[in-house]
Amino acid sequence: MSQPAPPSAATGPAPSPTSRLDVAVEAIHLVKKFDDFTAVDDISFVVPTGSVLGLLGPNGAGKTTTVRMMTTLSVPTSGTARIAGFDVREDPEQVRRNMGLTGQAATVDEILTGRENLRMVGGLYGITRKALAARTDELLDQFSLSDAADKQVRAYSGGMRRRLDLAVSLLAAPPVLFLDEPTTGLDPRSRAELWDVLRRLVAGGTTLVLTTQYLEEADQLADNIVVIDKGRIIAEGTPLQLKERAGAASVVITVSDATSLPAASELLRRNGGEVFVDETARTLTSAASGLADLTRIAGWFDESGITVDDIGLARPSLDDVFLSLTGHRAEGAQDDRAEGAQDDRAEGAADTETSDGTEPTSTDTSSGDLR
């Protein structure tokens, strides 16, 4: 395993001579072909500094291949990408100095303690002993691991291991962090805790690019979402913009007494749309344009005397967006892991060299992790 190109311990990642301060990540007409198969077909997007981009798509869509090209793990067939202003083709070493990558599986050493894992990788980065000790304590505290710092990682929960894996990827304080399925396999509580950690990173100025199988995760974290299908971008926008593409919002009303459903349905029709009634749940659903419609409808029911248990505005979910854009619901991450493995098999020895002709920086391509 080759030693990582060490970022300067004193100054951190090198400044980019060509960087735009408002842009942290750029994909520029990226294409990746394996023989006659095109895995990624002319993908371009921009990620503003200090924001979160979510890469979503059905299984085998090309998300993992895109991330591999942007993190110097795979050489593009054509096109390029810039990370913190550095081109992945022209200056891959500086790209690696300015980014972190966390794969789907935690790659920390189970025999070592959390503190020892951080010190080991920090040593490979060339960080001085004094600076590394301070940085280790800082990261252990930031990721709520101080109490378990001197325990073997084999005793950690899944959520603790993922937090430690993230801490390792941030040792050199990279301005950009790539996360491939960051919460896969975590229970809901651990997932929520990791979301809080990621929000704090973004608040501190870190730019995140994440792939995820959880649509709720993209909804919670992403400022902008790129939907990829069959290697092409088929939609892009904020979570709200994408939801609006899947259809109008709906007003949902639950009445207290099922016998009032006919009168409630007639009243709701005044809003001009079709009304769907669920007698078992005592609910009525109809299209609504937004809060103005909701306020007006609530006033009608208040004046009518019909007792309402609940009234609210429901927007389409990101799962509905998937369905409307791709024709099927979102699926799990299994094929995304297979996609990365396919990349490894297809590229074989060809990707043992990076675009600058040198061996890649200490990468574990089985997990997509880069140290």
Same domain, 282 and 174: no
Residue 11 lies inside a defined structural domain of this protein: no
Same domain, 55 and 103: yes
* Strands, E assignment, 166-248: 176-180, 207-211, 224-229, 232-237
Same domain, 352 and 211: yes
Residue 107 lies inside a defined structural domain of this protein: yes
Same domain, 255 and 138: no
pTM beyond 0.75, yes or no: no
Same domain, 265 and 362: no
Determine the Cα–Cα distance for residues 63 and 151; give it in Å rounded to an integer.
Answer: 35
Same domain, 298 and 188: no
pLDDT digits (tens, 9 = 90+) for 110-154: 999 999 999 999 988 888 999 999 999 999 998 889 999 999 999
Last residue of a domain, which of 275, 290, 315? 315
Residue type, 57: G
Same domain, 151 and 214: yes
Q: Which two tokens stand for residue 98?
A: 């300015």
Last residue of a domain, which of 277, 295, 315? 315
Same domain, 134 and 189: yes
Range of the domain at 109: 23-243+323-370
- The residue ranking higher by pLDDT, 2 or 316, is 316
Same domain, 354 and 267: no
Same domain, 341 and 287: no
Q: Count up the domains in the chain and report the number.
A: 2
Residue 256 lies inside a defined structural domain of this protein: yes
Give the CA distances from residue 204 to residues 82, 86, 258, 281, in Å, rounded to whole numbers and listed in that order. 21, 22, 51, 45
The pLDDT score that the predictor gives to residue 89 is 96
pLDDT digits (tens, 9 = 90+) for 214-257: 778 888 899 999 988 889 999 999 988 887 776 667 889 999 99
Give the domain CATH number at 301. Answer: 3.30.70.100
Same domain, 265 and 197: no
Same domain, 185 and 280: no
Give the domain CATH number at 143. Answer: 3.40.50.300
